Amino acid sequence: MNAREPVVAVVGATGAVGVEIVHCLEQRKFPLSKLRLFASARSAGKTMTFRGETLTVEELTERSFDDVNLALFSAGGSTSRKFAPIAVERGAVVVDNSSAFRMDPTVPLVVPEINADAIRSHRGIIANPNCAAIISITPLWPIHRENPVRRLILSTYQSASGAGAAAMEELRESTRAYLAGQPYEPKVLPHPYAFNVFSHDSAVGEDGYNSEERKLLLESRKILGLPDLAVSATCVRVPVYRAHSEAVHASFERPVSVEAAREVLAAAPGAGGQMGSAGPAVGGAPAAARARRRRRRAAPGHSPRPPARPNRRGGRRSWLLFTT
């Protein structure tokens, strides 16, 4: 393997996330000697442009990884569970965007700004966390290093893009039908999407949490290295095309002021993006439409706000809003 210019494969290249991965590789001038694009048989033969060159999407098979050094997977858990081990056997390092390996104790779950050192323990597969988990804990990490977090209450407002290209299309078409006064039968999501808000479209367990909420609970604890961290989450789907938003209610070991939180966040890698206004000026607050226009910069907006009341344990509650 040429570590400086590897052969890179994107698995699920024609999906909503796969397209963004290809864009990021190009925009960030990622060093590679060759890019290969893989998808299902249904998408094989399509073409995509990368660095001015037209690339043909190949069907994903067990022989796809013979010359691949780095494989970026974003094709769903079942595809990852089947093909990621095959890629590793062929000598590739896999970075997987699905939930397939996130809670495997032998697989590092990595947010580079938080626990990049965990990559060293990988055995061929590195897991990428749930999108909402990344948004919530990346800005908290720099505060946590100075003042340990003790409890999190997370509320997410998740866009169509998180459910893939088909959900984005359903939002577009259902909105068009609604405005025209025409009926529309949902095909991708379990509820009508246009002008509607509903619990995240994932299975609800016996504990009352849907699977997206459960991911936030478990993944946040693993990434932060806090297995006993008190976390509660509520995840809903909102009719926004791109950009998830979150309200993060965090309790820390010691009181933390809004000013101190803002100062730490502004200087933190990955968390120092668009600083929203905590005051009455609505125009300065983080907004999904603004985040959508600057999405490939991967920088959240945040608006720390004072707590509603003092924490009973003597700490303070800090409210933060992140849009990415």
What ranges do the domains of the chain cover?
7-100, 133-159+197-323
Of 85, 97, 87, 45, whose CA–CA distance to 67 is shortest? 87
| Token pair in block for residue 205 | 């367990």
> What distance in Å separates the CA atoms of residue 28 and residue 26, rounded to the nearest whole number?
6
Is residue 244 packed enough to be buried (19+ CB in 10 Å), middle (13-18) or exposed (0-12)?
buried
Domain 7-100 and domain 133-159+197-323, same fold? Reply is: no
Strands 245-252 and 317-323: what pairing?
antiparallel
Dihedral angle sign, alpha carbons of residues 130, 136, 142, 147: negative
pLDDT digits (tens, 9 = 90+) for 77-129: 999 999 999 999 999 999 999 999 999 999 999 999 999 999 999 999 999 99
**Fold exhibited by the domain 7-100:** Rossmann fold (3.40.50)
Catalytic residues: 131, 244
pLDDT digits (tens, 9 = 90+) for 250-280: 899 998 888 888 888 887 776 655 455 444 4
Select from 2.60.40.1930, 3.30.300.30, 3.30.360.10, 3.40.50.150 the CATH code of 133-159+197-323: 3.30.360.10
> Token pair 């939002």 is at which residue?
171
pTM of the model: 0.83
User: What pLDDT is attached to residue 317?
Assistant: 46
Please answer whether residues 152 and 250 qualify as being in contact, where contact means their C-beta atoms are separated by less than 8 angstroms.
Answer: yes
